[in-house]
Amino acid sequence: MSRELERRQKRAQDTLRVLEEAVSKSNTDVETHLGQIKGEYTRVTELSRQAEQTINDIDQEFRARTKLIGFDYAFLFLCTALQCARQYLLPQLPRLTAQQGDRLMQNTVGRVVPKAWNDILFASVPYDALNMAVPLDTGLSGTTHRYRTLGHDPILGWIFGTSNILTDGLTKSDVITTYQVMDNTLVGLYPGGTPGMFASAFKTIQADPLNLPAALARQAIHFGSDYFTKQGLPIPFLGTLSPQMAHQFMNSNLKNSVHIDLYGLTTSTLLAAVVNQIIFYLHKLFYNEQRDGSRSAYEIRTRKILTYSNLISTGSNAIAVAITGAVSKLDVGGILVTLCRIASDYRFISQIEREFLEQGFYRCVVGDSYDFMRGNV
């Protein structure tokens, strides 16, 4: 009996000792975890006091990862050289005269519309008429008629030019004055003036529903012939709002005439964009993950190359134009491409930088992984 009692007493003592050790270990773990929590509280509190400095440090890290390095500058110089070469070589391309432009588009009519519309389509546009059957003080000549007739206005021409084609009229840039044209000759003022011309145009459209599409096609074809010429098209609305300024800008007898050279604008814009795309894909071929990090950071460097090179080439062109006063040499297409690059690249870089800052600050706040975060208490 006494032996059984001793065994039970010993077993109880062993169980109590195990429980005491477990409680002691649990107390130690709790104290450790509480110490970790206290340390985290202190760390996060200190971090909140230095949040601005922390963000600045993360931002500096981002700039260090996305700054241009050695071979990036080779692409920067190459892209800048190509853009500058484009600005110099493009104006040297041969351009058409107004007569050559008309001949270029002449055969287009037959390919675009049926022969039944020849009366409107194959006749010369009336607002090109310069000969006069009677003396008229029109102020029109071969060098001034493009900005003194509304048929040549890139925007108003779709209304007035089309109406003139339907009615054999010529409306001047003052809107009020409209002349009647017969056999490419001005014969006098249009009956009823500009309102009378529009009334006649409406009657012509009612007479045959195909007349309006034919007139619009003829207007488009004439714009197309001016598109390829060096003189180009006048600035929209300028002839109506300020005839004197239109004379100064557009008159080809002046040293620095200004007009819309659509062919030159289209070509320069296209070539500037092509050069950018070539450099973009060439630079991507040199990506190395170990050296360059993430692809998004590397693309930022690529976009910086394009933006910087476009700014340099556009700036050099603007300086050259300012020094020489040759406004016609201004690379408008290149400027448009540069502005588009600045907008798109800024948006892309800002988005990647914002994500980098958010992730970096999150890592700083969360810190390391602790036992109490894994539920081991």
297 and 332 both lie in a single domain: yes
- Is residue 34, in this structure, part of any structural domain at all? no
At 365 the pLDDT is: 64
- Is residue 291, in this structure, part of any structural domain at all? yes
**170: part of which helix (H) or strand (E)?**
strand 169-171
At 298 the pLDDT is: 92
At 178 the pLDDT is: 92
Q: Which of 63, 84, 96 is nearest to 231 (CA)?
A: 96
108 and 222 both lie in a single domain: yes
134 and 109 both lie in a single domain: yes
pTM of structure: 0.53
Tokens of 328: 């016609």
Please report how the helices 295-324 and 332-366 are oriented relative to each other, as an axis angle in degrees rounded to 10.
150
Q: State the total domains in the chain.
A: 2
Question: Can you give the residue range of the structural domain that contains 128?
Answer: 98-229
- Is residue 375, in this structure, part of any structural domain at all? no
pLDDT digits (tens, 9 = 90+) for 267-313: 788 889 999 999 999 999 999 988 888 898 899 999 999 999 999 99
280 and 355 both lie in a single domain: yes
> Are the C-beta atoms of 200 and 166 separated by less than 8 Å?
yes
Tell me the β-bridge partners of 181. 186
CB within 8 Å of 261: residues ≥ 6 apart? 230, 232, 328
> Are the C-beta atoms of 268 and 333 separated by less than 8 Å?
yes
> pLDDT tens, position by position, for the chain (377 residues)?
566 666 666 666 566 566 556 655 655 555 566 666 666 666 666 666 666 777 777 778 888 888 888 889 899 999 998 888 888 776 554 544 545 444 544 444 444 343 345 677 777 888 888 888 778 877 777 667 677 888 888 888 899 999 999 898 999 888 898 999 888 888 889 999 999 999 999 988 888 888 888 888 888 888 776 655 556 667 777 767 766 666 666 554 444 454 556 666 777 888 899 999 999 999 999 999 888 888 988 999 999 999 999 999 999 988 888 888 777 778 888 888 999 999 999 899 888 888 887 777 667 766 655 554 444 44
> Are the C-beta atoms of 307 and 276 separated by less than 8 Å?
no
215 and 152 both lie in a single domain: yes
159 and 69 both lie in a single domain: no
124 and 225 both lie in a single domain: yes
- Is residue 38, in this structure, part of any structural domain at all? no
At 194 the pLDDT is: 92
70 and 147 both lie in a single domain: no
269 and 199 both lie in a single domain: no
Q: Determine how many CB atoms are found less than 10 A away from the CB of residue 74.
A: 12
At 115 the pLDDT is: 34
> Are the C-beta atoms of 93 and 319 separated by less than 8 Å?
no
223 and 295 both lie in a single domain: no
Helix residue ranges per DSSP H, the chain = 2-49, 51-66, 70-89, 98-106, 108-112, 118-121, 145-148, 157-167, 193-207, 211-227, 238-241, 243-250, 262-284, 289-292, 295-324, 332-366
At 114 the pLDDT is: 35
Instruction: Report which residue type is found at 256.
Output: N
At 171 the pLDDT is: 92
